[in-house]
C-alpha cells in the first residue's frame, strides 16, 4: 500500500494525537515510562493506521498480522494507539495503572485480551514472535502472508534471551518476521553505550543472518520504505533499527535518559509536557 | 494389599520387577498425544535423545523445533506457538527447565495463561554419576508456587505416559518431572490415572480389624513410592497398619484424599526425591496444617546438593532409602502417641 503525501499527513496527525494521549495518561497515572513511549509514537501510528492487517471490531480475527510488544514498559503508546484505532474508548486511557483498570502498568492479556502477549520483563518478546511465526508455518507453510512484527527496545538487547530468539529466527529463515528496534540510545540508568555497549549493532544482526536496515524512526517515508523492503525479503528475517529521539516532541525532555522511567509530576513539568502538544 | 481396582503390577514386590525410566514413558506419551491431536508440537534444547523425543521428531518433523542449548528460548518460543493455538511440549533437564528459565515460564506461560507443557527430565539424586549440578531437587518448589501451573510427578514410566497424554488434553500450563534412571514399574496400562487425583496404592490387611484406622500413612511421589510400598509391607508383616498414597499430581493437590487419609492415620510420612523445603511434603503440610493438623515426618533431601555416585548409593546417602522411611514411620508413631 503506497504512502501518499496525504496519508503521511494523516499519520503525522495520528502520531500527535497518540503523543498527547500518552502524556495525559501518564500525568494522570503519576508513574510510568515517558521517553520510549513518545519516541515510538510515529512507528505505532504507521503500523496501526497504515501497515498492519487488523480489525479493531474483530480483535481475534485469525488472519490478522501479529504485533508483539516486547518492551512492555512503553505500553502507554500501545494503549493510546489501540484507543485511537477504535479498540476501546479513548476515555479509558485515564485509568492507566489504576486499580481494576484494563490498562495495567505493564501489558497483561488477562486484562486486555486483544494483546498478543503480556510483557514487561524484558528480552522475551522476540522468541514469542518467533514461536508464533513457526506455529503459523506448520499450518500455512513457508509462503504464509501473515506478518509477524516484534517491537523491541535497544536496552533489552542486553538480555541473552533476545539473541537466542534472533539466532533461531536466522536458522529457520523466518521471512515473515520483522523486528523493529527502538534505537533511542537510552536505558533506565543511562546511555546504552555506557551501561552495556551494543555497537556495532548492525553487524550483530547481520551475523545472525538477518536482513538489516537502519532508518530515521520519525520519518514516515523512510519507515514505509523499510517495511516494504522487509516484506520483500524472502530468505531471512528482517530487522529495522529505527533511530528515535527519546521523549520526542517535548524539547525540554528529549534525549535525556532521566525521562526513561519517570513521568511529569511537578506543576512545572506538567506544564512543559502539555505545552508541547497543544 | 492393593486395591484390586487399581490393577497395579502383580510383580510390584518381585526382585525381577520390570524397570523403565519415566522419560521413556514421556516419549511414548508424546507420540500418542501427537497422533491424537495435531496441535501437539515438540521443542527441545539439544537433548532430543536424552529426553526421548527422537521418535516424535522422526515421525512429526514439521512439528518439532530444535532451539539449541537455550532454555529461555525453549519456553518463550513455546509460549508463542501456544498463542497460535498449539499445545507445545518443551523438554530439557529440570535443572534448566524450569530452573534456568523460571522467569520466562512465569511471565510468558503462567501469567500469559498459555497451555505450554514443561518437561523436566533428570530429577533427583538418582541422576547419579553426572553429579549435583544435574540433579534437580528444587523443581517442585519453584513450579508449584506459580499461579495456574499444574505440577505432575509420575511414579513410573507408565504413569509418565498417561500424564503426558492427559496434559495434552488440558489448556493449563503444566510441569511434568521425570526421572533419568530406570525405576520399578508399579502400575499397569489399566491402572486409572487422572490429573488431580491421588490414590491409595497400599492398604494394610491388618487394618480391617481397626475399622479403617491406620497407625501411619505414607504419602509418596515419584519413583520413591516403591520404597514406601516396601516399608508398608514390612510393617504389615509386623502387625502395624501403614497405608501408602501415591500423589502424582502435586498441584492441584487432592486435598480431600489427603485429609481423609490423615483422619484415618493421625500421622503422616511424606516421601519424595526433592528438597524437603517447598516440595510435595510441604504441600501436604500446608493442607493438613490448615485442615487437620497431625504429626508429619518428611523424607527428602535436607538442604543439600547431590554428588556423583550410583543412584542406589545416593538414595541411601541422602536419607531416602527403605531404612530411612522405616525410621520416619517409627518416629511419627512416637510423636502421635505423645
What domains lie within chain B, and their CATH numbers?
A: 19-184 (3.40.50.970), 196-337 (3.40.50.920)
Instruction: Mark out the alpha helices in chain B (DSSP H runs).
Output: 22-36, 54-59, 71-83, 102-104, 139-144, 157-168, 225-237, 255-265, 280-291, 311-317, 322-337
Average confidence score pLDDT of chain B: 96
Set of chain A residues whose Cβ sits within 8 Å of the Cβ of B83: 116-117, 128, 131-132, 135
Q: How far apart are CA B63 and CA B34, in angstroms?
A: 9
The answer to whether the CB atoms of B79 and A131 lie below 8 A apart is yes
User: Is A117 in the B-facing interface, judged by CB distances under 8 Å?
Assistant: yes
User: Is A132 in the B-facing interface, judged by CB distances under 8 Å?
Assistant: yes
Which residue of the set B32, B66, B71, B203 is catalytic? B71
Q: What is the bridge-based pairing of β-strands B117-121 and A190-191?
A: unpaired
Residue in chain A nearest B65 by alpha carbon: A134
The answer to whether the CB atoms of B76 and A127 lie below 8 A apart is yes
- pLDDT exceeds 70 at position B1: no
Q: How far apart are CA B325 and CA B297, in angstroms?
A: 9
For residue B338, the SS3 value is: coil
**What percent of chain B stands above pLDDT 70?**
99
The answer to whether the CB atoms of A167 and B70 lie below 8 A apart is yes
The answer to whether the CB atoms of B83 and A128 lie below 8 A apart is yes
User: Is B65 in the A-facing interface, judged by CB distances under 8 Å?
Assistant: yes
Cβ-nearest to A128 among B79, B85, B113: B79
Going by the DSSP 8-state scheme, the letter that residue B256 receives in this structure is H
Q: How far apart are CA A134 and CA B77, in angstroms?
A: 9
Residues paired with B120 in a beta bridge: B92, B177
In the prediction, which pLDDT does B4 show? 84
Residue B209 — very low, low, confident or very high, per pLDDT cuts 50/70/90? low
pLDDT per residue over B220-253, tens digit each? 999 999 999 999 999 999 999 999 999 999 999 9
For residue B216, the SS3 value is: strand
Mean pLDDT value across residues B90-119: 98
Set of chain B residues whose Cβ sits within 8 Å of the Cβ of A167: 68, 70, 73
Chain centroid, CA B279 distance in Å: 10
Architecture of domain A5-276: 3-Layer(aba) Sandwich (3.40)
Mean pLDDT value across residues B30-53: 97
- pLDDT exceeds 80 at position B210: no
Q: How far apart are CA A180 and CA A272, in angstroms?
A: 30
User: Is B97 in the A-facing interface, judged by CB distances under 8 Å?
Assistant: no
Degrees to nearest 5, angle at CA B268 with B265 and B274: 155
A43, A260 in Cβ contact below 8 A?
no
The answer to whether the CB atoms of B84 and A135 lie below 8 A apart is yes
User: Is A165 in the B-facing interface, judged by CB distances under 8 Å?
Assistant: yes
Kindly report the nearest CA distance between residue B41 and chain A, in angstroms.
9
- pLDDT exceeds 80 at position B102: yes
Cβ-nearest to A135 among B76, B80, B103: B80
Chain A contacts in chain B segment 290-319 (CB below 8 A): none
Q: Is B316 a catalytic residue?
A: no
Cβ-nearest to A124 among B41, B107, B113: B107
Kindly report the nearest CA distance between residue A132 and chain B, in angstroms.
5
User: Ramachandran region of residue B46, left (φ > 0), alpha (ψ -120 to 50) or beta?
Assistant: left
Degrees to nearest 5, angle at CA B39 with B37 and B43: 115
User: Is B67 in the A-facing interface, judged by CB distances under 8 Å?
Assistant: yes
pLDDT per residue over B3-40, tens digit each? 788 999 999 999 999 999 999 999 999 999 999 999 99
In the prediction, which pLDDT does A103 show? 98
Mean pLDDT value across residues B272-286: 98
Set of chain A residues whose Cβ sits within 8 Å of the Cβ of B112: 109, 117-118
Mutant choice from B84, B109, B146 vs A, greatest count of A C-beta within 10 A: B84
- pLDDT exceeds 80 at position B207: no
Mean pLDDT value across residues B187-212: 89
pLDDT per residue over A237-265, tens digit each? 999 999 999 999 999 999 999 999 999 99
Q: How far apart are CA A199 and CA A197, in angstroms?
A: 6
Q: How far apart are CA B250 and CA B246, in angstroms?
A: 10
User: Is B16 in the A-facing interface, judged by CB distances under 8 Å?
Assistant: no
Residue in chain A nearest B78 by alpha carbon: A131
Q: Which portions of chain A are predicted below pLDDT 70?
A: 1
Residue B308 — very low, low, confident or very high, per pLDDT cuts 50/70/90? very high
3-state secondary structure chain A: CCCCHHHHHHHHHHHHHHHHHHHHHHHHHCCCCCHHHHHCHHHHHHHHHHHCCCCCCCCCCCCCCEEEECCHHHHHHHHHHHHHHCCCCHHHHHHCCCCCCCCCCCCCCCCCCCCCCCCCCCCCHHHHHHHHHHHHHHHHCCCCCCCEEEEEECHHHHCHHHHHHHHHHHHHCCCCEEEEEEECCEECCEEHHHHCCCCCHHHHHHHCCCEEEEEECCCHHHHHHHHHHHHHCCCCCEEEEEECCCCCCCCCCCCCHHHCCCCCCCHHHHHHHHHHCC
Hey, what's the cell of B161? 505416559
Chain centroid, CA B122 distance in Å: 12
ipTM: 0.96
User: Is A212 in the B-facing interface, judged by CB distances under 8 Å?
Assistant: no
For residue B108, the SS3 value is: helix
- Give the number of A-B residue pairs with CB atoms closer than 8 Å: 97
Surface-to-core class of residue B291, CB atoms within 10 Å of its CB (0-12 exposed, 13-18 middle, 19+ buried): middle
The answer to whether the CB atoms of B81 and A134 lie below 8 A apart is yes
Amino acid at each position: 500500500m503506497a504512502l501518499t503525501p496525504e496519508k503521511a499527513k494523516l499519520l503525522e496527525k495520528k502520531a500527535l494525537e497518540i503523543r498527547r494521549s500518552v502524556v495525559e495518561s501518564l500525568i494522570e497515572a503519576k508513574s510510568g515510562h515517558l521517553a520510549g513511549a513518545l519516541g515510538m509514537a510515529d512507528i505505532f501510528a504507521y503500523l496501526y493506521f497504515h501497515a498492519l492487517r487488523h480489525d479493531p471490531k474483530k480483535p481475534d480475527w485469525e488472519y490478522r498480522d501479529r504485533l508483539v510488544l516486547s518492551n512492555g514498559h512503553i505500553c502507554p503508546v500501545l494503549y493510546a494507539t489501540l484507543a485511537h484505532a477504535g479498540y476501546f474508548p479513548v476515555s479509558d486511557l485515564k485509568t492507566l495503572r489504576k486499580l481494576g483498570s484494563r490498562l495495567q502498568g505493564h501489558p497483561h492479556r488477562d486484562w486486555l485480551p486483544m494483546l498478543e502477549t503480556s510483557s514487561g520483563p524484558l528480552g522475551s518478546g522476540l522468541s514469542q514472535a518467533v514461536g508464533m511465526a513457526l506455529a503459523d508455518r506448520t499450518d500455512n507453510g513457508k509462503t504464509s502472508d501473515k506478518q509477524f512484527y516484534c517491537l523491541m527496545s535497544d536496552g533489552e538487547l542486553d538480555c541473552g534471551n533476545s539473541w537466542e530468539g534472533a539466532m533461531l529466527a536466522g536458522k529457520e529463515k523466518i521471512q515473515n518476521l520483522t523486528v523493529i528496534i527502538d534505537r533511542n540510545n537510552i536505558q533506565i540508568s543511562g546511555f546504552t553505550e555506557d551501561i552495556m555497549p551494543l555497537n556495532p549493532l548492525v553487524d550483530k544482526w547481520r551475523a545472525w543472518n538477518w536482513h538489516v536496515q537502519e532508518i530515521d524512526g520519525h520519518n514516515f517515508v523512510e519507515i514505509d520504505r523499510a517495511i516494504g523492503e522487509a516484506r520483500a525479503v524472502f530468505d531471512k528475517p528482517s530487522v529495522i533499527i529505527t533511530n528515535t529521539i527519546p521523549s520526542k516532541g517535548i524539547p525540554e525532555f528529549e534525549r535525556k535518559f532521566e525521562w526513561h522511567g519517570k513521568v511529569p509530576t511537578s506543576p512545572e513539568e506538567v506544564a512543559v509536557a502539555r505545552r508541547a502538544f497543544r | 494389599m492393593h486395591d484390586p481396582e487399581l490393577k497395579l503390577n502383580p510383580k510390584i514386590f518381585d526382585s525381577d520387577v520390570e524397570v523403565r525410566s519415566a522419560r521413556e514413558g514421556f516419549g511414548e506419551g508424546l507420540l500418542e498425544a501427537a497422533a491424537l491431536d495435531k496441535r501437539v508440537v515438540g521443542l527441545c534444547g539439544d537433548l532430543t535423545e536424552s529426553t526421548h523425543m527422537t521418535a516424535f521428531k522422526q515421525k512429526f518433523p514439521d512439528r518439532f523445533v530444535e532451539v539449541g542449548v537455550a532454555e529461555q528460548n525453549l519456553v518463550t518460543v513455546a509460549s508463542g506457538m501456544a498463542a497460535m493455538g498449539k499445545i507445545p511440549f518443551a523438554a530439557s533437564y529440570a535443572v534448566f527447565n524450569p530452573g534456568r528459565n523460571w522467569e520466562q515460564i512465569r511471565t510468558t506461560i503462567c501469567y500469559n495463561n498459555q497451555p505450554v507443557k514443561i518437561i523436566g527430565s533428570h530429577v533427583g539424586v538418582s541422576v547419579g554419576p553426572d553429579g549435583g549440578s544435574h540433579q534437580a531437587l528444587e523443581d517442585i518448589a519453584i513450579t508449584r508456587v506459580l499461579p495456574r501451573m499444574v505440577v505432575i510427578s509420575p511414579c513410573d514410566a507408565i504413569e509418565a505416559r498417561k500424564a503426558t497424554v492427559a496434559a495434552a488434553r488440558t489448556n493449563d500450563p503444566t510441569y511434568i518431572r521425570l526421572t533419568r534412571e530406570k525405576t520399578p514399574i508399579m502400575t499397569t496400562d489399566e491402572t486409572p490415572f487422572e490429573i488431580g487425583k491421588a490414590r491409595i496404592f497400599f492398604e494394610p490387611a491388618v487394618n480391617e480389624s481397626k475399622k479403617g484406622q491406620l497407625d501411619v500413612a505414607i504419602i509418596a511421589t515419584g519413583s520413591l513410592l516403591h520404597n514406601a510400598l516396601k516399608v508398608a509391607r514390612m510393617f504389615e508383616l509386623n502387625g502395624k497398619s501403614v497405608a501408602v498414597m501415591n500423589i502424582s499430581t502435586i498441584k492441584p493437590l487432592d486435598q480431600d484424599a489427603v485429609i481423609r487419609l490423615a483422619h484415618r492415620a493421625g500421622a503422616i510420612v511424606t516421601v519424595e526425591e526433592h528438597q524437603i523445603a517447598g516440595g510435595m511434603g510441604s504441600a501436604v503440610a500446608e493442607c493438613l496444617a490448615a485442615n487437620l493438623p497431625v504429626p508429619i515426618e518428611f523424607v527428602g533431601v535436607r538442604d543439600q546438593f547431590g554428588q556423583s555416585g550410583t543412584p542406589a548409593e545416593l538414595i541411601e546417602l541422602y536419607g531416602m532409602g527403605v531404612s530411612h522411611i522405616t525410621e520416619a514411620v517409627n518416629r511419627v508413631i512416637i510423636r502421635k502417641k505423645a
